[in-house]
Structure 1
Amino acid sequence: MKDTLLIFDLDGTLWDSAGPVAESWNEVFQREAPGLPLLTIDDIHSVMGMTMKEIGETLYADRIIPNREAIFDQCCNYEVEYLYSHCGTLYPDFRSTMEALKKEGYGLAVVSNCQTGYVAAFLASSGASDLFLDYEEWGRTGLSKGENIRLVMDRNGYTKGIYIGDTKKDQEATLQAGLPFIHAAYGFGKSVNPDGVIHSLSELPSVIKNLLN
């Protein structure tokens, strides 16, 4: 058995949920704030990787929205409910790659800057609950991503780990946690001198082997 935990970012690394997320938020806006322009997929992509607090402060920052916090809280909650039945777009070879890594003996986990329930919705709608041994969310702990990475490592008894993500913020969090970082270059962001790079999930097993060797 391997002694290494592979920890994944979610948005831009394992799936792209921007379509259903925009749909769910627009439903809330049409009901609670009908004067707001509808969100586009590009709008959602622009805030991927932020915490929900940061997203609430960024979207429509130039507009005065009565009850802004309450409305965005509704969006946050309804988004999770919506994603249970509206799966985001899984990146190619997601299932086969995760199964191959698990067969090799690696532990698999997810750490995301999302709200409480978002990762559970991903696991349910994608049918991937059997693949991952643990996950953590900003909404559940209030901790930084680096702290949550370390939390998942420690509570599962791993001393070695690798984080796979798509943005510079992911890389910075990985550095904070003291782990190597593999950049998912097909995602939403860039990185600077990562320890490894993948252009598709199917490349991950070989990049991990090279990194560990």
Structure 2
Amino acid sequence: MKPDSLIFDMDGTLWDAVDTYAYSWTQVLKDNGINKILTREELESYMGMEMKQIFDKVIPDASAETVEKLYNDVIKKEHEVISEMGGKIYPGVLEGLEELSGRYKLFMLSNCQEGGIKDFMNYTETKYLFTDYMEYGMNFQPKHINLKILIDRHNLKNPMYVGDTDSDRKQCELVHVPFVFISWGFGNTEKYALRFDKMQELTDYFMHLDKE
């Protein structure tokens, strides 16, 4: 069945900004007297998690008050540095989004902090391509709840979610949304409705569907 909309994950799907995130986290930890360097490898293993779940991994013994302060500090730091450091946009993403937006409603849904998607859109100058978006930081709800919010808000009948982790797949199953797995990101899964290894392949597939 041809979808009426495509909902994209951000990190690991559209771009890789892990180096920027790791720098931001490490600076905030240092500024708060915590002697820990968050490496790219460690942070990459947490990608796809909700932000406060990552804090449980990075500083498991921290108090709730400390986590709340660090959470807000990390958000502020990421907003400051993302405009300069940005992220690595995966090959074919910008061209693909431009093409797909002419025939589908496009959305973004991420477990990032509030403002993370806006930072991405500003850096890549892609805001005009998307109808709407939801972030974990807006309401601190899991991805399937925010997916349902987008579906209900825009009366979507046949949405598909494009992501890179098995947790994305599980969240989609909770609201019966077909999951499109892309293999160039941070995760892996053996269950999906569709799989693509390049953004160009994904773009060609959905553009061809429109002509059937």
Give the structure-2-normalised TM-score.
Answer: 0.89
Q: Conserved in 1, the CA contact under 8 Å of 2:3 and 2:160?
A: no
RMSD: 2.3
Q: Conserved in 2, the CA contact under 8 Å of 1:198 and 1:207?
A: no
Find the counterpart in structure 1 of residue 53 from structure 2.
54
Please give the residue correspondences for 1:146-157 in structure 2 after superposition, counting only pairs within 5 Å. Answer: 146-157=144-155
Please give the residue correspondences for 1:75-86 in structure 2 after superposition, counting only pairs within 5 Å. Answer: 75-86=74-85
Amino acid of the residue matched to residue 164 of structure 1?
V
SS at match of 2:159: strand
Q: Conserved in 2, the CA contact under 8 Å of 1:12 and 1:187?
A: yes
Structure 2 gaps, min length 5 = none
Q: Where does structure 1 differ by over 2 angstroms across 4 or more consecutive aligned residues?
A: 60-69, 205-213
* Identical pairs, percent: 30
SS at match of 1:136: strand
CA distance in 2, matches of 1:130, 1:86: 22
Q: Conserved in 2, the CA contact under 8 Å of 1:107 and 1:132?
A: yes
C-alpha displacement at 1:65, in angstroms? 11
Q: Point out the more displaced range, 106-115 or 201-210.
A: 201-210
1:22 aligns with 2:22: yes
C-alpha displacement at 1:211, in angstroms? 7.7
CA distance in 2, matches of 1:3, 1:48: 27
Find the counterpart in structure 2 of residue 118 from structure 1.
116
Structure 1 gaps, min length 5 = none
C-alpha displacement at 1:89, in angstroms? 0.8
SS at match of 2:161: strand
Cα distance change on mapping 1:142 and 1:60 into 2, 3 Å: closer
Find the counterpart in structure 2 of residue 141 from structure 1.
139
C-alpha displacement at 1:9, in angstroms? 0.7
CA distance in 2, matches of 1:133, 1:161: 13
Give the structure-1-normalised TM-score.
Answer: 0.89
